[in-house]
Structure 1
Amino acid sequence: MSVRDAADSDRDGVWAVLEPVIRAGETFAFDPATRRDDALASWFGPKARVFVAERVGRVVGTAWVRPNQPGLGSHVANASFAVAPAARGLGVGRALALQALLEAERLGYRAMQFNLVVATNQAAIELWRSLGFDEVGRLPEAFRLRGERYVDALVMRRDLGPRS
């Protein structure tokens, strides 16, 4: 498996990864009925560095890194990750996370923060904790799981690079 910068030619592969994740309504805040063009416009949004993970020439995961907030909050990175259902448990998420952390440090971010880690997404929570992220907040009933019931979401954060 390799991780590289995404190209415009990867959009179909990225959508193939994103679509089942969005439709499931379990981890992303996207409406499950989100259209392809809208999802890709958001994923490849302004200031985003987008990556893809490939196995045997096929996109099996994708991630982006961008400022968590504009202006005076832009020194903290935000990131999002998606792995194709068939590629879960193969280290794709970890590889993308490590690439995102390296890129965030290279770009000079002081920290990385995830604003909406769904509390039922144990695989993601365990991965982030294993990579040094701490839970810095809990948002009661902040996510509507599968559009049916409300569950908590976590805010997770990790410092990056040397501190002054």
Structure 2
Amino acid sequence: MITIRHYEPDDWAGVWSILEPVFRAGETYAYPTDIDEESARTQWIEAPAATFVAVEGATVLGSYYIKANQPGQGEHVCNCGYVVAEHARGRGIAGQLCEHSQRRARELGFRAMQYNLVVATNEGAIRLWQRHGFAEAGRLPGAFRHPRHGFVDALVMYKPLDAGEQS
């Protein structure tokens, strides 16, 4: 059974084992492909408002962070980043993380969620976010330097979290 809970310091080795190959591949996140472990920990764990892990027993299978997308006048919109271990993909974990993050965002008082840089070649993620109610709010031509495809578009995806709010 998969449980989603707050990140604890003992989870770092498991989270890093998932983040490192994703960041090194450079296909879905804009982090430097040579990011060091400490910088990754700062970005994924320390900078966000909160970080969560999906675990099965003691094994970390996925993680997400949540933070304000912008300070001040934009702090009512949150941003999240998600990652699932390669061996655990196809089990619905990313969808569970997405749903959990939306509930948590509402609890934290966020009114909307925005993904700033969804790489257009990441079609599985785009389909997943659309299934969870996100819409394309904009397309950034050539905004992501993909290691195999060169400069590809990135999407800004958005979802109001208040049912009465218009997108």
When normalised by structure 1's length, the TM-score is 0.96
Contact 2:48-2:65 at 8 Å conserved across structures? no
Letter in 1 for 2:143: A
Distance 1:138 1:9 in 2: 38
1:59 is paired with a residue whose SS is: strand
Give percent identity, aligned residues only.
45
Structure 2 unpaired stretches of 5+ = none
Q: Show the counterpart of 1:7.
A: 8
What is the deviation of 1:45? 2.8
Contact 2:45-2:51 at 8 Å conserved across structures? yes
Distance 1:117 1:45 in 2: 22
1:10 is paired with a residue whose SS is: helix
What is the deviation of 1:162? 4.5
What is the deviation of 1:163? 3.7
Distance 1:43 1:138 in 2: 25
1:44 is paired with a residue whose SS is: helix
Cα offsets for 1:82-113 (capped at 9, x unmatched): 11111111111011111100000111111000
Cα offsets for 1:49-78 (capped at 9, x unmatched): 100001232001000111000111100010
- CA RMSD in angstroms, aligned pairs only: 1.3
Contact 1:62-1:81 at 8 Å conserved across structures? yes
Distance 2:19 2:48 in 1: 19
Distance 1:119 1:98 in 2: 22
Letter in 2 for 1:110: R
Contact 1:52-1:63 at 8 Å conserved across structures? yes
When normalised by structure 2's length, the TM-score is 0.94
Contact 1:136-1:157 at 8 Å conserved across structures? yes
Distance 2:26 2:75 in 1: 28
Structure 1 consecutive aligned stretches of length 4 or more whose deviation exceeds 6 Å: none
